[in-house]
């Protein structure tokens, strides 16, 4: 109070400051009342709404900043630019669905590259060629998850009206068609082609379900360029993939959890081939070496000398290890990998 007994005028405090939130409570109450004149809006409704929106915004902002930092690091930049924010949102499926209609200034555009164009080898499975009245169909083998067909033979199907007496295709018996071939007569109309494509997609889904039989799917995520990442729980020696990753040391030690399981399932032939690799020389840190998958559903085994936390630049070496795995898989035209924990509590990397 002043000397004359008049109360000193206090500074006005907003409702957001009283509630302890940053988002404007008064503005949200005004938006809630707009168009809902016949409803009674409680005093706590805009406060609760502001708190929830602030929490969600903080969560998404933190996630976007983390992914943007990773994008900047991958591009060897020390400063986050709008381009990195755009790439971070595009590479996360949840953020992409939420913010796909948001335009980021100076963010650029996203490259629309079909996943099949990224492979160095042309994919010939499931390809249809139409020339006049002749349709060619080759079905992909379903013996392995994502493996390329072992043969490039094609079964030519000719319509009865345009067939010639000297055509050798009509003389084939049904029993001569391999069991892993999917042969279906298609017309030159788009309707028949569409039905065949749907049938091929259905066969691929059935093959993927068979490959995951006996495994518990803990998490699944589809990446931006079409790759699919699945977290499974089960016996890694029974997974049907192109290659299994074996974390080891410089002398191809097989005493680890994954190594002992592979040695038991692979048998004597697998052990002998690993010994031959060890006889050629030691495996440097983050380096990889490949051997055949004897008696395993997987075609190959990639041995990796995973780094430990005590070595210099452990995090960079771990990133280099993953890059070497993917480079080896791409060089050998692999489409599916079974990757266990590369470096855990044993190597003091969590």
What's the pLDDT tens digit per position in 289-318? 999 988 898 999 999 998 887 777 888 888
Residues of the chain with CATH 3.40.220.10: 216-338
* Kind of pairing between the strands at 243-248 and 228-233: unpaired
Residues of the chain with CATH 1.10.20.10: 18-99
Q: Which residues pair with 216 in a beta bridge?
A: 233
Per mean pLDDT, which range of 5-19, 61-75, 100-114, 205-219 is the poorest? 205-219
Q: What would the CATH number be for the domain defined by 216-338?
A: 3.40.220.10
Per mean pLDDT, which range of 16-25, 118-127, 210-219, 248-257 is the poorest? 118-127
- pLDDT reported for residue 316: 87
In this prediction, residues 204-229 reach a mean pLDDT of 70
Choice between 237 and 309, residue whose per-residue pLDDT is larger: 237
In this prediction, residues 318-326 reach a mean pLDDT of 90
Q: How many CB atoms lie within 10 A of CB 330?
A: 14
Q: How far apart are CA 118 and CA 328, in angstroms?
A: 15
Mean per-residue pLDDT of the chain: 74
Which alpha helices (DSSP H) does the chain contain, by range? Answer: 15-19, 25-33, 44-74, 82-91, 93-99, 190-211, 257-280, 314-331
CATH fold for domain 18-99: Histone, subunit A (1.10.20)
Q: What is the pLDDT of residues 86-110, one digit of tens each?
A: 999 888 888 888 888 888 888 888 7
């Amino acid at each position: 109070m002043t000397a004359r007994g008049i109360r000193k005028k206090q500074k006005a405090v907003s409702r957001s400051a009283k509630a302890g939130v940053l988002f404007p409570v008064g503005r949200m109450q005004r938006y809630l009342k707009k168009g809902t004149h016949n409803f009674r809006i409680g005093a706590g409704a805009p406060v609760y709404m502001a708190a929830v929106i602030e929490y969600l915004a903080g969560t998404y902002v933190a996630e976007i900043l983390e992914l943007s930092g990773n994008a900047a690091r991958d591009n060897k930049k020390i400063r986050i630019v709008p381009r990195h924010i755009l790439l971070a949102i595009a590479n996360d499926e949840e953020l992409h669905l939420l913010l796909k209609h948001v335009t980021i200034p100076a963010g650029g555009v996203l490259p629309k590259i079909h996943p099949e164009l990224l492979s160095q080898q042309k994919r010939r499975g499931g390809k249809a060629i139409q020339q006049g009245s002749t349709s060619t169909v080759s079905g992909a083998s379903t013996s392995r998850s994502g493996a390329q067909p072992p043969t490039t033979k094609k079964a030519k199907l000719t319509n009865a009206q345009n067939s010639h007496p000297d055509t050798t295709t009509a003389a084939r018996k049904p029993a001569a068609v391999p069991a892993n071939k999917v042969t279906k007569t298609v017309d030159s109309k788009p309707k028949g082609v569409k039905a065949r494509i749907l049938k091929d997609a259905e066969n691929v889904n059935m093959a993927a379900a068979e490959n995951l039989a006996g495994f518990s799917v803990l998490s699944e995520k589809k990446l931006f360029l079409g790759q699919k990442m699945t977290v499974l729980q089960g016996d890694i020696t029974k997974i049907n993939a192109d290659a299994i990753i074996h974390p080891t040391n410089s002398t191809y030690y097989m005493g680890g959890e994954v190594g002992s399981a592979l040695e038991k399932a692979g048998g004597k032939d697998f052990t002998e081939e690993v010994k031959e690799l060890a006889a050629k020389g030691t495996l440097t840190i983050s380096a990889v070496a490949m051997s055949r998958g004897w008696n395993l559903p997987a075609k190959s085994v990639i041995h990796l000398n995973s780094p430990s936390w005590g070595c210099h630049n452990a995090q960079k070496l771990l990133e280099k290890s993953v890059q070497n795995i993917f480079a080896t898989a791409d060089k050998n035209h692999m489409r599916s990998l079974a990757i266990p924990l590369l470096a855990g509590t044993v190597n003091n990397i969590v």
